[in-house]
Amino acid sequence: MIILNFAHPLTEEQLRQIDERLIVRIEEVRSIPVRIDETKELAPQVVAIANRANLTAEEWQTLPILINPPGYSPVATALLAELHGRMGHFPSVIRLRPRHHGATDYEVAEIVNLQELRDQARMRRLANQHTDR
């Protein structure tokens, strides 16, 4: 598993928590800086951010990849669209939460399989289309 970290560095404890939730082992963590120029269009900047992962087209489609998304939601959502296009599916993402109320210490809450979430939503949509008739 390769973790593409688009956020703050993950601690050893967080990496251990991630490893406990995965079926495969973490092989590598790639820290990818995210800096946005607010005076320029977002899309080309997100393409450049994804390019900094240094993965080939084949690797995007075949390697097990886990994403720690950036905290800035416009970048995170645009980046997920870009990664979906490269991977052919939505990636799984790391969800962190504060360990204590109001604290700046974060723990891993869960690994969210976005493709599964999307597939389930599609099934609900299809089921609702049949019941609307």
pLDDT in tens, 73-128: 999 999 999 999 999 999 999 999 998 876 788 999 999 999 998 889 989 989 88
From CA 103, how far away is CA 120, in angstroms rounded?
Answer: 34
Res 132: pLDDT: 62
Task: Return the pLDDT at 104.
Answer: 83
Cα–Cα distance between 116 and 124 in angstroms, integer? 12
Strand order in 28-31's β-sheet?
28-31, 2-5, 65-68, 92-98, 106-113
pTM: 0.90
Looking at the chain, the whole-number percentage of residues with pLDDT higher than 70 is 97
What backbone phi and psi angles, to 5 degrees, belong to 52?
-70, -10
Q: Give the pLDDT mean for 43-63.
A: 98
Domain that holds residue 11: 2-131
pLDDT of amino acid 133: 56
Work out how many domains the chain is built from and give that number.
1
